[in-house]
Amino acid sequence: MLGGDRELVLFTGLLAGALIFSAHDLKAAVFGVTLWVIGLQIFRIMAKADPKMRYVYLRQRRYRKFYPARSTPFRENGPAEQAQFR
């Protein structure tokens, strides 16, 4: 939609519209339109680089900082390790 990811573009438009109509101020209108234009341009650049970039970013956010080494999937954990990974 408009060259960017559909959900991100619509959400940014919703935020900008809510800001404009809830504040009823010229400054808020200028800021809302600026937010919309800059956000749309960023989403277009992002979609041009990789159309699935939003999904990659969301998956990357679920990863942990550290994954401890395990010798085998059949290893028996001790009581301290069982409490740590529940």
Specify if 49 maps to a domain: yes
- 26 residue type, one letter: L
Specify if 57 maps to a domain: yes
Number of other CB atoms surrounding residue 5 within 10 Å: 19
Specify if 25 maps to a domain: yes
Q: Tell me the two tokens of residue 10.
A: 């619509």
Specify if 68 maps to a domain: no
Say if residue 1's pLDDT is above 80.
no
pLDDT confidence of residue 85: 67
* pTM over cut 0.85: no
How buried is residue 46: exposed, middle or buried, by Cβ count under 10 Å (0-12/13-18/19+)? Answer: middle
Specify if 69 maps to a domain: no
- Determine the length of the chain: 86
Specify if 70 maps to a domain: no
Domain residue limits at 42: 6-62
CA gap 56, 47 in Å, rounded: 12
Q: pLDDT digit string (tens) for 22-77? A: 998 999 999 999 999 999 999 999 889 988 888 988 899 999 888 877 766 777 77
Specify if 82 maps to a domain: no
Number of separate domains in the chain: 1
CA gap 18, 32 in Å, rounded: 9
Specify if 76 maps to a domain: no
